[in-house]
Amino acid sequence: MNGRKQESKLKGLREFIREEEGMGTVEIILIIVVLIGLVIIFKEQLRSLVEKVFEKITEDSNTVMS
């Protein structure tokens, strides 16, 4: 009887491993984690880039409005 329970558990584990529906979720989570890591690593460079872009937009919009 104990052998049947263990065999049943192994069968359920095999089916769980073969099931691929959850793989998309895991992949998306890993991509998000990598992106967050990159943002943390390059935070200062990104901030500088965004500030320069907004300064350029402001300058160009002032030219258009004049």
Tens digits of residue pLDDT in 7-66: 677 777 777 777 666 667 888 899 999 999 999 999 999 999 999 999 999 988 878 776
Helix axis angle for 43-65 and 23-41, nearest 10°, is: 80
Residue 33's domain spans which residues?
22-66
Residue 10 placed within a domain: no
Residue 33 placed within a domain: yes
Cα–Cα distances (Å) from 20 to 11, 27, 65, in that order, read: 16, 11, 55
Pick 5 or 64 by higher pLDDT: 64
Q: What is the DSSP letter of 40?
A: H
Residue 46 · residue 39 · CB < 8 Å: yes
Residue 53 placed within a domain: yes
Residue 61 placed within a domain: yes
Residue 51 placed within a domain: yes
pLDDT for the residue 39: 93
pLDDT for the residue 42: 95
Residue 26 placed within a domain: yes
Q: Is the pLDDT of residue 1 over 60?
A: no
**Number of residues written out for the chain:** 66
Residue 63 placed within a domain: yes
Residue 3 placed within a domain: no
Spell out a b/e string for 42-53, using b for 16 or more CB atoms within 10 Å of the CB, else e: eeeeeeeeeeee
Report the domain count for the chain: 1
